[in-house]
Amino acid sequence: KQEVTQIPAALSVPEGENLVLNCSFTDSAIYNLQWFRQDPGKGLTSLLLIQSSQREQTSGRLNASLDKSSGRSTLYIAASQPGDSATYLCAVSFLRVNYGQNFVFGPGTRLSVLP
Amino acid sequence: NAGVTQTPKFQVLKTGQSMTLQCAQDMNHEYMSWYRQDPGMGLRLIHYSVGAGITDQGEVPNGYNVSRSTTEDFPLRLLSAAPSQTSVYFCASRRDRESSYEQYFGPGTRLTVT
């Protein structure tokens, strides 16, 4: 069964720090990987989508990398701000699963950026 | 575009009651899906649809029904609510069944079953 894990489960950093969130997946045969942000009591906001043929994607202070062969992705947040505090979810679309059921979420990393 | 919309935002049901969670999208997306999010369990797929008239089961379909009569709408029905169905429900859509496209999520419905 394809699985997605994320470490750490929670992270607390002072404002201004650069930080890295990790996502691992068990099968390297993927279509793409998507990073989401979820604020407490809210829905999911898509941050970055990396196709299987890409190595990284950037949006503002966010950079996501993908290493399919090792089954890993990292989300790098530069110069963190209190407004970055949220739960960050990684989701992977796997090739070797039925089209409709192949989007698997990790458990998330809860980030707190302290002023 | 409104994107993916869900109603209601909050709902409290008694055990045994039925209700329908509404989901609509205005992006002409063929693929739509329902997830539930529970603490410690992450998001799990309930049902999905690859187009009008076509639905299928996900990981946790028991106790839920869906139908897709139009491209825009994908309602989720709870036939006889149980406390185990207390959860946050998210509807999502993407352009089509091709998994290389980005998924978009609605704001969620927080359901409590007493």
Question: A26-52 pLDDT, tens per residue?
Answer: 999 998 999 999 998 888 999 999 999
To the nearest whole Å, the CA of A43 is away from the closest chain B CA by 4
Q: With CB atoms and an 8 Å threshold, state whether B103 touches A46.
A: yes
Task: Please indicate whether, in this complex, the C-beta atoms of A99 and B50 are within 8 angstroms of each other.
Answer: yes
Whether residue B16 is predicted with pLDDT greater than 80 in this model: the reply is: yes
Mean pLDDT, to the nearest integer, of B34-56?
Answer: 91
Residue B53 has pLDDT above 80, yes or no: yes
Q: How many helices and strands (H and E) does chain B possess?
A: 0, 11
**Alpha-carbon distance B12 to B32, whole Å?**
25
> In B, what residues contact A, Cβ < 8 A?
31, 33, 35, 40, 42-43, 45, 48, 50, 56, 58-59, 90, 97-100, 102-108, 110
pLDDT at A114: 96
pLDDT at B101: 82
Q: Of A3-17, B37-51, B65-79, which range is least confident? A: B37-51
Q: For residue range A48-101, list pLDDT tens digits in order.
A: 999 999 999 999 999 999 999 999 999 999 999 999 999 999 999 988 777 666
Cα–Cα distance, B18 to B77 (Å, whole number): 7
Sheet holding B4-7, edge to edge: B4-7, B19-25, B76-78, B64-66
Query: Which of the two residues, B13 and B100, has the higher pLDDT score?
Result: B13
